[in-house]
Amino acid sequence: MDLIQIRRELHEIPEIGFQEFKTQSYLKTIIGNMASERIELVEWRTGLAVKVSGSAPRKTIGWRTDIDGLPISEETGLPFASRHEGFMHACGHDIHMTVALGLLELLVEHPLDNDAVILFQPAEEGPGGAQPFLEWLETERPDLLPDELFALHIAPELPVGTVATKPGLLFANTSELFIDLRGKGGHAAYPHQTRDMAVAAAALLMQLQTIVSRNVDPMDSAVLTIGKLSAGTVQNIIAERARLEGTIRTLTPESMASVKKRVESLCRSIEEGYECRVSIDYGANYRQVDNDEQLAESFLRYAQDRSGIQAVRSKAAMTGEDFGYFTERLPALMFWAGAGSEFGLHHAKLAPDERLLSFMPEFLYDYFKLR
């Protein structure tokens, strides 16, 4: 199986959450070519669960990959750039899927004693596929639920051959944040007859920036970022509507609840002070990724002894990943895999080093054999 070709073909067809129809079809074709009586393939929405029977199973070992792309216009200039205008695999999920397919091929050709399950999960970037996928597994197909689960995420800033993880908290709790303000528009010459939402939104934006500095314990950590503010239509009309879009990230669920409570309090004060209506939508919310301590230590020991691999104990990051729903319910581990790209995650010029594909499936397969 030519993993480079597979990765490039997947890179050409990025699709956003729960719209990964071409991606699912492509994956089914590749998996179908691995004809084996040991394989069971099950569809879940636009995702897949693939079970490979072991020769003398004591448990089921799982691998999870995400499969969706992002609404980003690609600027890599690569000959295999996205053919879906306005969409790109800018978070490395094409690499993730290819690693999973390479691992699956090894599991089929060289069966383990234990059963193995590969989960091709949609909608990691939003609205969130892990939680409903997990709920379906628990209620409808518990036989496909692994006893322990592993996953990786590419790290563009790390060189190829590096793997990095830690026991406990790896990624933060995250929540999207959308705030809509509605006032009264009118002519720019008569501002006293209006309720200007450009001004209200600007005031709210500044107040929101005080939450982390004045409402979060300095020994804790949180991020509240507003990445987009929009208001009004043209220069001589008072804005009747405004919208702020952002993200909240915290290291504990308690801090997330506290930050949201303060957001809501500030929005109520804006309603009163600017005589307007304010609505809040928290969008997709992801649980923190908490690595199982025993799995993390086992994996790091294995990686340290592996020739050609540089194992690193990483720090926790404010990155968001819905793999946290799995770590909440199962012994699970996620790690960073160095991908050596000049440009980072969610960048229009992200170009992971494909050399990662030459060793990662075998590296994982050999670790699975030890489980």
Q: Is 220 a catalytic residue?
A: no
pLDDT of residue 25: 98
Q: Is 305 a catalytic residue?
A: no
Q: What is the DSSP string of 231-251?
A: E-SSTTEE-SEEEEEEEEEES
DSSP state of 315: P
Residue 268's CB: how many other CB atoms inside 10 A? 11
Mean pLDDT of 157-179: 98
Confidence tier at 130 by pLDDT (50, 70, 90): very high
pLDDT of residue 35: 78
Residue among 94, 124, 125, 148 flagged as catalytic? 125
Confidence tier at 115 by pLDDT (50, 70, 90): very high
Binding-site residues from annotation: 91, 93, 125, 153, 346
Mean pLDDT of 341-366: 98
Mean pLDDT of 318-325: 96
Structure tokens at 103: 């691992």
Cα separation, 240 vs 183, whole angstroms? 5
Mean pLDDT of 338-344: 98
User: For residue 187, how many C-alpha atoms fall within 13 Å in the half-sphere facing its CB?
Assistant: 2
Sequence ranges of the domains in the chain: 3-170+288-370, 173-285
Q: Is 291 helix (H, G, I), strand (E, B) or coil?
A: strand
Contact 10, 97 (CB under 8 A): yes
Closest CA to 327 of 176, 223, 173, 104: 173
* Identical topology for domains 3-170+288-370 and 173-285: no
Per-residue pLDDT at 78 exceeds 90: yes
For domain 3-170+288-370, give the CATH number.
3.40.630.10
DSSP state of 358: G
Per-residue pLDDT at 249 exceeds 90: yes
pLDDT of residue 315: 95
Confidence tier at 36 by pLDDT (50, 70, 90): confident
Count of all residues that appear for the chain in the document: 371
pLDDT of residue 158: 98
Closest CA to 46 of 63, 68, 31: 68
Q: Quick: pLDDT tens for 170-179.
A: 999 999 999 9
Closest CA to 345 of 336, 356, 354: 336
Mean pLDDT of 211-240: 96
**One-letter amino acid of 318:** M
Cα separation, 253 vs 283, whole angstroms? 16
Cα separation, 297 vs 238, whole angstroms? 59
Binding-site residues from annotation for Mn(2+): 91, 93, 125, 153, 346
Per-residue pLDDT at 57 exceeds 90: yes
pLDDT of residue 301: 98
For domain 173-285, give the CATH number.
3.30.70.360
Cα separation, 292 vs 175, whole angstroms? 23
Per-residue pLDDT at 106 exceeds 90: yes
DSSP state of 57: -
Cα separation, 144 vs 127, whole angstroms? 23
pTM metric for this prediction: 0.93
The whole-chain average pLDDT of the chain stands at 97
Cα separation, 270 vs 202, whole angstroms? 11
H or E segment and range at residue 289: strand 289-291
pLDDT of residue 17: 97
Residue among 12, 15, 20, 66 flagged as catalytic? 66
Confidence tier at 348 by pLDDT (50, 70, 90): very high
Strand partners, 70: 88
Buried b (16+ CB within 10 A) or exposed e, 270-308: bbeebebebeeeeebbbbbbbbbeebbebbbebbeebee
pLDDT of residue 159: 98
Per-residue pLDDT at 270 exceeds 90: yes
